Structure 1
Amino acid sequence: MFNRNAANKYLYRLALIILHIIAIACICYFAVSSSSFSLVAKSFSLICCLFILVVVCGKKRFEGWSFKLMNRLSCRSTLILTILLGFSMRLLWILLVPSIPISDFGLMYEYAKEIQQGNFTGFHNYAYFARFAHDTITVLYFSIFYNLKSNPLIIIKFMNVLFSTLAVYYMYKIVEQIYDVSLGLLAAFLLAIFPPFIMYNSQTMSENVAITFYLISVYYFMLVINKKQKFHGDELRNLCICGLALSMANMFRMVGLVFLIAYIMYLILFREIKRLYFLMPFMLLTYFIPIYLISSLLIYNGITETHLWHSKEPIWTSVLKGTNFESNGHWNVEDAKLPEIYNHDPDKITQASKQIIKERLLNASPQKISTFYLYKFGSEWADPDMSAYEWAIKNIPESSPTANLIRKLKSEILIVTTLFYLFLLYFSIKSLLRNRDRPEEISFFLILFCGFVILLLITEAQARYAFVISWIFIILAIGGLKGRHVTDFKIQRSRSIKYSNILRFLLSNGLS
């Protein structure tokens, strides 16, 4: 007989251990980085630490003030102001920081121009996007904007801003379903000012679009499982939208399978909604069918040669890089050359990769393996901005005055992002230590989080890979920020925000 309480207990313990390791790794990362700080930066760091300490120690008082302020402004006004804040900060960043697409991002952006001109050779034979077919949809998406302008970089960045701002709204909706409106507004505010969600808007990365669709998918899944909602035949519709949004997100950033497994595991392990077991196939169909149809359509029209999920370079090459002890699991020339050695034969590459991985793990001592994976884990999760600053600043022309200012403020930006990240981690840990009034839905997010931890441990390590799931720290932290003043926020669930209300508000204020 499966014991749900025991499973929940072990899940929370595992998540607590992981969060503690991340917090320690983040502190170590900051300690190493701050050794070269100037006196001004160190003074700024001390002031920020004191401010955070005052906020944490005086949490109840600050909490009371914030909810009183929200009561006066009303839910609608607070949400609109939060969305406008998030939009303004993102727009300001892309205008002031003229980031240039580099690495994979640069390849996607540059090749999109070829696509617009009808050249699809980059998807054929063993060209880059044939080897990594999961980038196909992003490249096609970028190519649309070349119809509007010969250099549409600013348009793509502006679309990033719109998608990222929409993510703020759906963060509000998700947390509203789990807790209430007041905490939903707080979560939206935290995502609006979360540094990586601002800085990555200036880079042409697929996650800017994918994250929003992943949040939409999670929101509709919350509608299905939320016990506060009485079902009136809407489960099927919500599950279909959940699957469709997940499919869209997966086509931009192919980690949708982790979400799908988390959905299924949560329903099987922690819910007794028998009717949903019969409805789950509809979610699976709305997830798989769009990907299959679009992929087949691309092959039929000669745009691609393989399905989107079947890159010509096997996934085992990523796992191979992830087991390289010399590079600490990061990209390295030695493993990157393997496909060329075997003339891009997928079967030979897979066989060789498995053999090398086996030899590496069997010939290393348990201590070396554990140290390696601990360091690799830290390098993936310790960076407080998921390397957003580095990706945004690289290759910016020296002639840009604002970029030079951003470079000079590198230490101060690191301080702010680190303290914000530690703030989220602290309250995430505090949330999981609470035994009372803990929403059941949090178990789903822990399953999802642990799934990504496993995925990133197995594959090639990069700090930016954690960005796609970094919003989860806000949802976990909200439980730690929740206090007695929550019940004083007199806003009913029926007053939740609609798109039409936001549009009407913006139009009326703009016209006046």
Structure 2
Amino acid sequence: MINKYFKLFCAFVILTFGLIYMGAGVYFNWLSFDELYVRPDLLIGLGSIAAMALTYLLTSQKLSTRVFIISLLGVSFLVRILWVLYVPAQPVSDFYILHRASMSASEGNFAFMESDYFQRWVYQLGFVMYQAFLLFIFGDQLFPLQLINILLSCATVFIVYKIGVQLFNERVGRLSGIVYTFYLPTIIMTSLLTNQILATFLFYLGAYLLVRHFEKSTWVWAVIGVLFAFGHIIRPLGPFVLLATGLFIFVVFMLGKRLREALFSAGKLAGVIATYSLVLFIVSQSLMLSGVSDYPLENRDPLWKFVIGLNHETSGTYSDSDLKLLNQYEGEERVEKERELIEERLEDPSRLVELFRDKFEMMWANLDASVIWGYGDRNENVKERLFQLEKAMYFPLFLYGGLGILGLFVVLKRNAQDPKQLALFFVLFIIGYAMIHLLIEIQTRYRFVLMPSLIVIQSYGVYMLYEGINKLKSRIDSRKVE
């Protein structure tokens, strides 16, 4: 009984979040269209029609699974390799710093670790060592690194497809794979030397194993822990993923179960956390014992992200004035100054509400920065078209994503034991990721790791809508016959 009512409570949480999410997404995205001088209703209509037409094609074609997967991966590779070949991107900003450090590391020179950048954010060393390994093997050219990005991105396409199939059905999986294949930032980002592509692949491979094998397999928890750990080493998002994992396992596999089953699941969750922690410890100690780093792979300035994230003047984006101010202090004095700034910025609740609103709009509605980093200033007209295309693709994701979340609410309300309850992991990840970015620094390119979750949920929303139209059509036709 406890299990039943708690899952119903979770369903209502999903419903509330879905309504807020869909309404906010529509409102903020509508505002952001003004920057492009394009009628939002036209783009919304075209995006919706395209999504529906795509669903129709997917459900009407009798393609075998093997043919579909080969075609999907082939097209995914083609569009990404063409982008990299015709729009080569040079590393700039943080990408440049990390690339230069990787080149030095590949030659055995770790002098860059003495810089303030790597002294504060030691966790960047994980991605640097990964790139250094590739540079050592393939040489100092950019293309091999970009080619690895392409292969990882295609592998993520396959994982997104498999997650859709596992959570819902073959049609949802196919739609998820196709949308992720053509979603513009997933193509553009392959030309950038970013840690997001590999980290996303590792996190979602772990997530697939979680929803596919966790309950049935005895030892899969160890693989999940390893994947989440290496994903964190590449990009430090492990705590968010582990939190979503813990809540998911507790609600789905422990709550209301027999004591033996609950303890078994709790043990496997503990195994995930232990394996994750062990891998991080081994990698950090290895780097420290080898003399590469004096510190473990961690953020040695954790308050910085909150200082920036709570800056009212920049609406939670990077602040050069904050950096200049804090650079006047060192050690404990800097920490105290950061705490002082955070406390000042949390004093007025009314200003906080305004800040959170602005941050939500900027994070989830602004033009995707991947176009800026990946395309640069080559041609302003083409650049504007890329922004328009990305927006036309992104906006329906919010609409159908909200529909998918509402659909999950209906399913869980009717039957708390429905297999679709496994989608709760991705809903929890979306909620947690969105909430933490109300407090920490935001950039639109940070949306990247969340997009597979959103695309799978929105694909279910599109499928639901299509099935609903089919049922309505069948009823109308049956009444005509009568």
CA distance in 2, matches of 1:484, 1:376: 31
CA distance in 2, matches of 1:414, 1:27: 14
TM-score by length of 2: 0.87
Q: 2:324 aligns with which of 337, 341, 360?
A: 337
Q: Is 1:147 the counterpart of 2:136 in the alignment?
A: yes
* RMSD between aligned residues: 2.3
Q: Is 1:67 the counterpart of 2:63 in the alignment?
A: no
For residues 79-228 of structure 1, the aligned pairs below 5 Å read 79-124=69-114, 126-148=115-137, 150-224=139-213
Q: CA deviation at 1:325?
A: 1.1
CA distance in 1, matches of 2:134, 2:397: 36
- Corresponding residue for 1:351? 336
- Corresponding residue for 1:361? 346
CA distance in 2, matches of 1:342, 1:139: 27
CA distance in 2, matches of 1:427, 1:177: 19
CA distance in 1, matches of 2:28, 2:307: 24
- Corresponding residue for 2:291? 302
CA distance 1:68–1:334, change in 2 (3 Å): same
CA distance in 2, matches of 1:109, 1:358: 36
- Corresponding residue for 1:420? 393
Report if the CA contact (8 A) 1:67-1:486 is conserved. Answer: no
Q: CA deviation at 1:91?
A: 0.8
**Residue type at the aligned position of 1:268:** F
Report if the CA contact (8 A) 2:307-2:338 is conserved. Answer: yes
CA distance in 2, matches of 1:416, 1:478: 19
CA distance 1:8–1:333, change in 2 (3 Å): same
**Residue type at the aligned position of 2:354:** T
Q: CA deviation at 1:359?
A: 1.6
CA distance in 2, matches of 1:63, 1:165: 21
Q: CA deviation at 1:48?
A: 5.2
Q: 2:47 aligns with which of 49, 52, 70?
A: 52
TM-score by length of 1: 0.83
CA distance in 2, matches of 1:63, 1:261: 33
Deviations 1:400-440 (A, max 9, x none): xxx44xx4222222222112111111111112223544621
Q: Size of the alignment, in residue pairs?
A: 450
**Residue type at the aligned position of 2:181:** A
Q: CA deviation at 1:355?
A: 1.4
CA distance 1:321–1:63, change in 2 (3 Å): closer
Report if the CA contact (8 A) 1:183-1:486 is conserved. Answer: no
Report if the CA contact (8 A) 2:14-2:406 is conserved. Answer: no
Q: 1:21 aligns with which of 2, 18, 24?
A: 24
Q: 1:432 aligns with which of 378, 387, 405?
A: 405
- Corresponding residue for 1:458? 439
Deviations 1:363-401 (A, max 9, x none): x3x3322111100111111135x311011123x6xxxxx
Report if the CA contact (8 A) 1:223-1:238 is conserved. Answer: no
Q: CA deviation at 1:339?
A: 4.1
Unaligned runs of 5+ in 2: 255-260, 413-419, 469-482
Report if the CA contact (8 A) 2:18-2:406 is conserved. Answer: no
**Residue type at the aligned position of 1:172:** Y
CA distance in 2, matches of 1:387, 1:30: 15
SS for the counterpart of 1:471 is helix
CA distance in 2, matches of 1:12, 1:292: 40
Q: CA deviation at 1:486?
A: 7.6
**Residue type at the aligned position of 2:28:** A
Q: CA deviation at 1:449?
A: 0.8
- Corresponding residue for 1:480? 461
**Residue type at the aligned position of 2:396:** F
CA distance 1:462–1:55, change in 2 (3 Å): closer
Q: Is 1:240 the counterpart of 2:243 in the alignment?
A: no
CA distance in 2, matches of 1:27, 1:348: 44
For residues 501-512 of structure 1, the aligned pairs below 5 Å read none
**Residue type at the aligned position of 2:365:** A
SS for the counterpart of 2:421 is coil
For residues 394-409 of structure 1, the aligned pairs below 5 Å read 394=376, 403-404=378-379, 407-409=380-382
CA distance 1:390–1:442, change in 2 (3 Å): same
Report if the CA contact (8 A) 1:67-1:485 is conserved. Answer: no
CA distance 1:46–1:95, change in 2 (3 Å): farther
Deviations 1:148-194 (A, max 9, x none): 45532111111110110000011111111101222212111111111
CA distance 1:299–1:83, change in 2 (3 Å): same
- Corresponding residue for 1:328? 315
CA distance 1:301–1:338, change in 2 (3 Å): farther
Report if the CA contact (8 A) 2:149-2:190 is conserved. Answer: yes
SS for the counterpart of 1:458 is coil
SS for the counterpart of 2:318 is coil
Q: CA deviation at 1:47?
A: 6.7
Q: How high is the sequence identity, in percent, across the aligned residues?
A: 20
**Residue type at the aligned position of 1:383:** N
CA distance 1:143–1:437, change in 2 (3 Å): same
SS for the counterpart of 2:10 is helix
**Residue type at the aligned position of 2:461:** G
CA distance 1:162–1:333, change in 2 (3 Å): same
Unaligned runs of 5+ in 1: 397-402, 488-512
